[in-house]
Chains A and B, each alone.
Chain A
Amino acid sequence: DAGVIQSPRHEVTEMGQEVTLRCKPISGHNSLFWYRQTMMRGLELLIYFNNNVPIDDSGMPEDRFSAKMPNASFSTLKIQPSEPRDSAVYFCASSLDELDTQYFGPGTRLTVL
């Protein structure tokens, strides 16, 4: 299997622009996680999907952030409008089920100028 795929790997944008991050989980995995990693706060769970349904979005920082999972093989995380404080590495991870090993994608390094 190709593992968890994320795109783009790097994104540089200007404040106020819309940013869309994409994730393809491992086939057959029912759970999908979006994380954000910063030096200050470490790894934070933004949202958790199970069987394509958002179960917990309490980690989404504010209304500027939204996530969708239209099918079992694709998820997006959107930031609109982006702000410099959104600069971070965003990881997508998937697992067979909620209590199972999580497999991480390579991450998207987002820089908002």
Chain B
Amino acid sequence: KNEVEQSPQNLTAQEGEFITINCSYSVGISALHWLQQHPGGGIVSLFMLSSGKKKHGRLIATINIQEKHSSLHITASHPRDSAVYICAVSRVDSNYQLIWGAGTKLIIKP
């Protein structure tokens, strides 16, 4: 079993829909990261969080440490949100070493 599991693997939705991507992990962590990789290949860090909730524009990330689970939400989705969303965790015993999820490929249709 992978230490970081994401679901769904693929998600197709219509423009305007509310999107949820889930991430579960099985190791002790210092922080959890959400990143976005566009079709062109560039990787952008969206959030780093260790508790609670963070919001940036239409993106919201939450984490439940007790349940070892995080969610990334996109409100009012837009075709430009189409990308691969990756969850990664920093291990508590090795802060710099990220354990990567497999990614969720999101397609938003106009």
To the question of whether A and B form a pair in one complex, the answer is: yes
CB within 8 Å of B: which residues of A? 31, 33, 42-43, 45, 48, 50, 55-56, 89, 91, 93, 98-104, 106-107, 109
Interface of B is mostly: strand
Q: Is the CB of A100 within 8 A of B41?
A: no
- Contact with B43, one of A48, A98, A99, A104 (Cβ below 8 angstroms): A104
Are the CB atoms of A42 and B96 closer together than 8 Å? no
- In the docked arrangement, what's the CA distance between A98 and B31, Å? 11
Task: Report chain A residues within 8 Å CB of B96.
Answer: 31, 33, 48, 50, 55-56, 98-99
Q: How far is the CA of A104 from the CA of B95 in the complex (A)?
A: 17
The yes or no answer to B7 lying at the interface (CB within 8 A) is no
The answer on a CB contact under 8 Å between B102 and A42 is yes
A44 to B30, CA, bound (A): 19
Q: List 20 A-B contacts (CB under 8 A).
A: A31-B96, A33-B96, A42-B100, A42-B102, A42-B103, A43-B86, A43-B98, A43-B100, A45-B97, A56-B96, A56-B97, A91-B43, A98-B96, A99-B95, A101-B33, A101-B45, A101-B48, A103-B45, A104-B45, A106-B41
Number of A-B pairs, beta carbon distance below 8 Å: 44
> Measuring CB to CB, which residues of chain B are less than 8 angstroms from any residue of chain A?
30-31, 33, 41-45, 48, 86, 90, 95-98, 100, 102-103
B10 to nearest A CB, angstroms?
Answer: 15
Chain A interface main SS type: strand
Flag if A100 contacts B48 (CB, 8 Å).
Answer: yes
Given the complex, which residues of A lie within 8 Å of B102, measured CB to CB? 42
Which residue of A42, A45, A102, A109 has the most chain B CB atoms within 10 A of its CB atom? A102
From the candidates A55, A56, A89, A99, name the one contacting B41 in the complex (CB within 8 A). A89
Contacting pair B41 A98 (CB below 8 A): no
Distance (whole angstroms) from the CB of B107 to the closest CB of chain A: 18
Which single residue of chain A is at the shortest CB-CB distance from B44? A104
From B41, B42, B45, B103, A102 is in contact (CB under 8 Å) with B45
Instruction: Give the Cβ gap from B19 to chain A, nearest Cβ, in Å.
Output: 22
